[in-house]
Amino acid sequence: MDTKIRQKVESHLREAELKLTPQRFAILDFLVGSDVHPTAEQISEGVNRRFPRASRATIYNTLKALRDAGVVQEVYLGEGAARYEANLAPHHHFVCRACGKLEDVSSEAVGALPPCELGAGYAVETFEVVLRGVCAACAAKRERRKRRR
Amino acid sequence: MDTKIRQKVESHLREAELKLTPQRFAILDFLVGSDVHPTAEQISEGVNRRFPRASRATIYNTLKALRDAGVVQEVYLGEGAARYEANLAPHHHFVCRACGKLEDVSSEAVGALPPCELGAGYAVETFEVVLRGVCAACAAKRERRKRRR
DNA sequence: TCTTAATTTAGACTTATTCTAATTTAAAGT
DNA sequence: ACTTTAAATTAGAATAAGTCTAAATTAAGA
CA A136 to chain centroid: 21
Q: Write out pLDDT tens, residues B10-24.
A: 998 998 889 999 999
Q: What does pLDDT average to over chain B?
A: 89
Q: What is the pLDDT of residue B115?
A: 62
State the pLDDT confidence band at A52, using cuts at 50, 70 and 90: confident
Q: What is the pLDDT of residue B4?
A: 83
- Selecting from B112, B127, B135 the residue whose C-beta is nearest the C-beta of A130 gives B127
Contact B122, A134 (CB under 8 A): yes
Q: What is the pLDDT of residue A97?
A: 86
B65 CA → C17 C1’, Å: 15
Interchain contact B17–A (C-beta under 8 A): no
**Conformational region of residue B78, where left means phi above 0, alpha means psi within -120 to 50, and beta covers everything else:** left
Angle at A94 between CA A93 and CA A96, to 5 degrees: 150
Q: Calculate mean pLDDT across residues B52-81.
A: 94
**Alpha-carbon separation of residue A49 from A6, A24, A56, B141 (angstroms):** 18, 15, 14, 51
List residues bridging with A107 in a β-sheet.
none
CA nearest to A140, candidates B123, B125, B126: B123
Interchain contact A80–B (C-beta under 8 A): no
3-state helix, strand, coil in chain A (%, to 5): 40, 20, 40
Distance from C-alpha of A82 to C-alpha of B57, rounded to nearest angstrom: 24
Q: What is the pLDDT of residue B103?
A: 92
Q: Write out pLDDT tens, residues B19-62.
A: 999 999 999 999 999 999 999 999 999 999 987 899 999 999 99
A6 CA → D29 C1’, Å: 23
Percent of chain A at pLDDT > 70 equals: 95
List residues bridging with A104 in a β-sheet.
A93
Q: What does pLDDT average to over chain A?
A: 89
Q: What is the pLDDT of residue A112?
A: 72
Q: What is the pLDDT of residue A116?
A: 65
